[in-house]
Chain A
Amino acid sequence: MGTVVTIRQAVMAEDEKYAARVREMLTKRKILAVNIIGSPGCGKTTLLERTAACLGRGGSKKFSFRVIEGDIETARDAERLAAAGVEALQINTKGACHLEAHVIENALKSLDCNGLDVLFIENVGNLVCPAEFDLGEDFKVAVSSVPEGADKPLKYPMLFSQAAAVLLTKVDLLPYVRFDKDLFLRDIRALNPKALIMELDLISDAGLESWLAFIAGRLEEKHHVAQ
């Protein structure tokens, strides 16, 4: 005969330990960590390429950043970023649909953190699973592109309800595809009233200044808290 034992233990406790360690390590070094989540092809890598280009041009907002790239296969994203002058560490998950904190902890051992302000973690292209796993980041950013359609926030509520910012990319395509922007904005507001919503066109870099200002602002807040 079996015995019933009460357990009441969180399943992700182990994972959360790794995430807490990553968070502590990054906070000690005053590095802002941003977990970027969006579909394949929504413009996550392009966002980072354009971020590098805009910071390189000078202007009021300045910060240094490096990237941890999560993909199932290939080093193509890290190569793209290297070509844009960004130091990027590619992780191939070999089938796994998301990054996990223990992978980030390992990656940080081989990433040069000296003089680093911001660590962008580009998660595996996927709106479901990456939202589930705490990587030790300061906050998540959801990226959604116009051609994906306006119905994504309600279809993937966990990501959109957790994200500190939602980036709507490829807004240059608005005249050519059907996209109900009012619905998109309304649904995000219902899920996550505090989320900052930014519209980006990464061909002309329209909107990129507000993204840089957002990151620079959060970096400043983090320095403030860490002091």
Chain B
Amino acid sequence: MHELSLAEAVNNTIKELGRRSAWSRVRRVILKVGRLRQVDPELLSFAFGVVGKGTVTEGSELSVLELPVVFHCRACGCETTGDVTAFACVNCGSADVELLSGMELTIESMEVEDC
């Protein structure tokens, strides 16, 4: 259940952002999450609601955009959109690959109410 810790981290990040901004309430949060993060979007949204009680995010909605695992092959230069269970180039089979996407955990944007 790491979703609870992640939800707390999302909420703390938003609270921190709120200190430097002119908005009073958050309506919606768009979160980008890479597939390698092993996050269950439903659990994360639920946990976000729980940790947000009494804070600036109370009542807001968390939308999770899942990003695929993409890696670049250093041997042949191909890009593979793979799954999380094999890190080898689909073109040449090389395992010398560099991850381009899949580990994201980023607050992309928020819909807020101004003060």
Contact = CB atoms under 8 A, between A and B. Distances in A.
A192 B85 CA distance: 10
A97 B105 contact: no
Contacts of B12: 14
Contact-residue bracket for chain B: 35 or more
Contact-residue bracket for chain A: 20 to 34
Nearest to A129: B2
A15 interface: yes
Contacts of B95: 189-190, 193
A34 B115 CA distance: 47
A97 B4 CA distance: 10
A188 to B, nearest CB: 11
Interface of A: 2-15, 96-98, 100, 128-129, 131-133, 154, 157-158, 161, 187, 189-193
Interface of B: 1-2, 5-6, 9-10, 12-13, 16-17, 21, 23, 27-28, 31, 36-38, 84-88, 95-96, 105-114
Given A5-B109, A7-B109, A129-B2, 6 more contacts: A2-B111, A5-B110, A11-B105, A132-B37, A158-B36, A187-B85
